[in-house]
Copies of this chain bind each other. A is one copy, B any other.
Amino acid sequence: MRQHYPPINPRFPHFLHGGDYNPDQWPPETVADDMRLMKLAHCNAMTLGIFAWAALEPAEGRFEFGWLDRVMDQLAANGGYAVLATPTAAHPRWLTDKYPSVQRTNRERVRSPHAHRVNFCLTSPVYREKAALITRQLAERYRNHPALLAWHVHNEYGGECYCELCLAAFRDWLKRKYGTLEKLNEAWWTAFWSQTYFDWNEIHPFEGVIHGLHLDWKRFATDQCIACYRNEADILHAVTPGVPVTTNTYWFFVGYDARRWAPHLDVIAWDNYPPYHARPEDWKKAVEMSLMGDFYRGLKGGQPFMLMETSPSSQNWMPVMKLQRPGIHRLKTLQVVAHGADTVQYFQWRAGRGAAEKFHGCVVSHSGHENTRVFRDVADLGTLLEKLDGVIGTTVRPEVAVVYDDENRWAIETVAGPRQQKRDYVPTLVAHYEPFWKRGIPVDVVHADTDFAKAGYKLVIAPMLYMLRPGVAERITAFVEQGGTFVTTYWSGIADENDHTFLGGFPGPLRPLLGMWAEELDVLHDDESVKVLPEPGNALGLAGEYEAEIFCDLIHAESATVLARYGSEFYAGRPALTVNACGKGRAFYVASRNRAAFQDDFYGALSRELGLKPVLDTVLPEGVTVQKRGDGKREFLFFLNFRNDDVTLPLGTARLTNLADGAAVAGSLHLPAHDAVVCERV
């Protein structure tokens, strides 16, 4: 496995630190002052031109690059760099006026007015032609500019379009996939309620009760959006080979299948806006954000990514736009670095005077000067990042993987039943991830098609693996046979890639591996719980009395051994946790959704048994984690304290150097509330 990656752009083997910048909204004297402020803030990279289409091409085919030339030159002259954006996320009004079909159409089949951003048709040939043209103009103009460091295509792709062009493209996509309507009708189980299709043109993506259609529409939308990205990225690759190209996204790629996107991006770029407000529950949010970081790092097999957007202060679109507390800025950005970021970039550099984001946190506030708390936070972080060159390109190779899978999530979210408001796929992943975060054991987050055996994991956890695409069960089985440990839960092995339930007994193709059969799935009201009692003398040494909630699968052990049983309800005495030996490995079935104490004990026991290595051999207090990056030679430890009070961590025999000040650290580490410390292992 690869342990070290080159910098995002080898021309600049340092942390990028900077932000979105809109010089077209400001007079020259302000731009000049920005150059001065950037140096004071220890910033080195500005993301330019996002949403600037109207300024760059104020009339069809008439381009005005003067203002951008000047800023690019000023940046270069001041030792700064540009992450140069294609402006296609906000097309100009003249484009809509002349070619109304570029505008998106909603589910109610109404073309939306020109407004907001990311409002373009995913199929429109005109949009693609005009987007390609402005992209090529930019690429050719700045191909040799010294400030050009990376390309940033579009911005936060998202959504779907339901216009006639998109519908026709969808039908073509379906014809290529299925060939005949007979096969499509079969795949979509349309005999139900006489939904049979007799003509391709009868297909509309609005019909919620056909789950196969829903899945195919999401798959098509992913493909279509990737094609829009490629429409621009291919030009950039051709004109400026060697300059990395990406687009920025958030929350598991916002409705598209991340698994399919990753190969098309030179580097992954994440927009991260964690809601940390120095409240006691912050650390639980931090667990989720760490999982997300691992997800983004995992998308390209461990390659470091860009933190393309984060706020230097508050987020104005939040219902409660709290100020960032002291320390939080360093904590939240270094958390992302710990999980693989090689950049720290902000939205945005300078606060605009008008419109929807005028009160969003910015490095330079409306006051216009550097004498603010936020500016000092940014400058302090910049100073630290300048000392972290060694971190660039390093990664982490965990022994544990948690499976996150978009298609699986889509299927779970669409199903009618069994507990409509509490399916909670992502929170469930977080619950199974949290025990490792608490112990400082690194984790990968990967999709279901991963070849787990080849990847070398010791432990693979796949909660709520409702959908099993062809090959998934086989790869999991092979992983276990070769010695791996596999954990899955209730509501797994239910349906195939078309969302057809498996026949003959759940968990379908995983039944032999798990050695059990799930007869019925009970669900609980929010105010109910069921006891889970370990079997006396069970192999994992579990001894607590646990509580299940929401989901309780009623299963029969076949070849599996029962480790715990329900302790209440009419199914008291029936298995709640089983393990089945298979080849050299074992497969666990967790039949219920259990409260945190179960996960803590269960994964604690597994961690001991499997000898999973934590970053540091110490017991961490609640709310504190240690993550690491390295390349096999050097190892960097990130201590992150999400608590509201100071802690002192015993370090055992570890000898470290604090990279902020070069001080030797041994014996113990004092970590103030909300502080983050980066050390290198000596």
Q: Which residues of A contact B (CB under 8 A)?
A: 22, 24-25, 51-55, 58-59, 87, 90-94, 97, 108, 110, 113-117, 188-199, 202, 204, 206-212, 279, 313-314, 316-323, 325-326, 351-360, 365-368, 372-374, 415-421, 498-506, 517, 519-525, 554, 570
In whole Å, how far is A321's beta carbon from the nearest beta carbon of chain B? 4
Chain B residue at smallest Cβ distance from A278:
B570
Given contacts A193-B116, A358-B501, contact A317 B417 (CB under 8 A): yes
Q: How far is the CA of A321 from the CA of B91 in the complex (A)?
A: 46
Point out the residue from B22, B498, B501 that lies within 8 Å of A366, measured CB to CB. Answer: B501
| Contact of A51 with B416 in the complex, beta carbons under 8 Å | no
A193 contacts which chain B residues (CB < 8 A)? 51, 90, 116-117, 355-356
- Most chain B CB within 10 A, of A90, A325, A367, A420, is at A367
Chain B residue at smallest Cβ distance from A351:
B501
| Contact of A498 with B326 in the complex, beta carbons under 8 Å | no
A326 contacts which chain B residues (CB < 8 A)? 570
Q: How far is the CA of A415 from the CA of B359 in the complex (A)?
A: 8
Point out the residue from B24, B114, B323 that lies within 8 Å of A522, measured CB to CB. Answer: B323
| Contact of B321 with A504 in the complex, beta carbons under 8 Å | no
| Contact of A519 with B372 in the complex, beta carbons under 8 Å | yes
| Contact of A198 with B94 in the complex, beta carbons under 8 Å | yes
A420 contacts which chain B residues (CB < 8 A)? 319-320
A209 contacts which chain B residues (CB < 8 A)? 115-116, 355-356
| Contact of A354 with B498 in the complex, beta carbons under 8 Å | yes
A196 contacts which chain B residues (CB < 8 A)? 54-55, 58, 92-93
Q: How far is the CA of A155 from the CA of B198 in the complex (A)?
A: 23
- Most chain B CB within 10 A, of A90, A319, A368, A525, is at A319
Given contacts A116-B193, A354-B189, A520-B372, contact A417 B202 (CB under 8 A): no
A207 contacts which chain B residues (CB < 8 A)? 113, 115-116
5 shortest A-B CB distances, which residue pairs? A189-B354, A316-B417, A192-B355, A90-B194, A54-B194
Given contacts A54-B196, A115-B206, A194-B87, contact A499 B354 (CB under 8 A): yes
| Contact of A192 with B352 in the complex, beta carbons under 8 Å | yes
| Contact of A202 with B54 in the complex, beta carbons under 8 Å | no
- Most chain B CB within 10 A, of A115, A360, A373, is at A115
| Contact of B418 with A359 in the complex, beta carbons under 8 Å | yes
Chain B residue at smallest Cβ distance from A319:
B420
Q: How far is the CA of A314 from the CA of B116 in the complex (A)?
A: 45
Task: Write 29 A-B pairs (CB below 8 A) sorted by A numbering.
Answer: A24-B191, A54-B191, A54-B194, A54-B196, A55-B191, A55-B194, A90-B194, A93-B199, A94-B198, A94-B199, A97-B202, A113-B204, A114-B202, A115-B208, A189-B355, A208-B356, A212-B354, A279-B525, A316-B416, A322-B523, A326-B570, A353-B503, A357-B416, A359-B416, A365-B520, A366-B503, A366-B505, A367-B505, A367-B519
| Contact of B353 with A418 in the complex, beta carbons under 8 Å | no
| Contact of B366 with A506 in the complex, beta carbons under 8 Å | yes
| Contact of A501 with B353 in the complex, beta carbons under 8 Å | yes
A51 contacts which chain B residues (CB < 8 A)? 192-194
| Contact of A354 with B192 in the complex, beta carbons under 8 Å | yes
A318 contacts which chain B residues (CB < 8 A)? 417
| Contact of B90 with A353 in the complex, beta carbons under 8 Å | no
| Contact of B320 with A195 in the complex, beta carbons under 8 Å | no
| Contact of B92 with A192 in the complex, beta carbons under 8 Å | no
| Contact of B501 with A191 in the complex, beta carbons under 8 Å | no
A114 contacts which chain B residues (CB < 8 A)? 202, 204
| Contact of A313 with B416 in the complex, beta carbons under 8 Å | no
A24 contacts which chain B residues (CB < 8 A)? 191
- Most chain B CB within 10 A, of A116, A316, A501, A502, is at A501
In whole Å, how far is A157's beta carbon from the nearest beta carbon of chain B? 15
Given contacts A313-B520, A355-B211, A500-B354, contact A25 B199 (CB under 8 A): no
Q: How far is the CA of A313 from the CA of B28 in the complex (A)?
A: 66
A210 contacts which chain B residues (CB < 8 A)? 354-355
In whole Å, how far is A276's beta carbon from the nearest beta carbon of chain B? 13
In whole Å, how far is A562's beta carbon from the nearest beta carbon of chain B? 19
In whole Å, how far is A349's beta carbon from the nearest beta carbon of chain B? 14
A97 contacts which chain B residues (CB < 8 A)? 198-199, 202
| Contact of A113 with B206 in the complex, beta carbons under 8 Å | yes
| Contact of B92 with A198 in the complex, beta carbons under 8 Å | yes
Point out the residue from B54, B192, B322, B367 that lies within 8 Å of A195, measured CB to CB. Answer: B54
In whole Å, how far is A479's beta carbon from the nearest beta carbon of chain B? 26
Given contacts A356-B416, A367-B519, 8 further A-B contacts (CB under 8 A): A113-B206, A116-B209, A117-B193, A189-B355, A316-B417, A322-B523, A353-B500, A353-B501
Chain B residue at smallest Cβ distance from A371:
B519
| Contact of A520 with B373 in the complex, beta carbons under 8 Å | yes
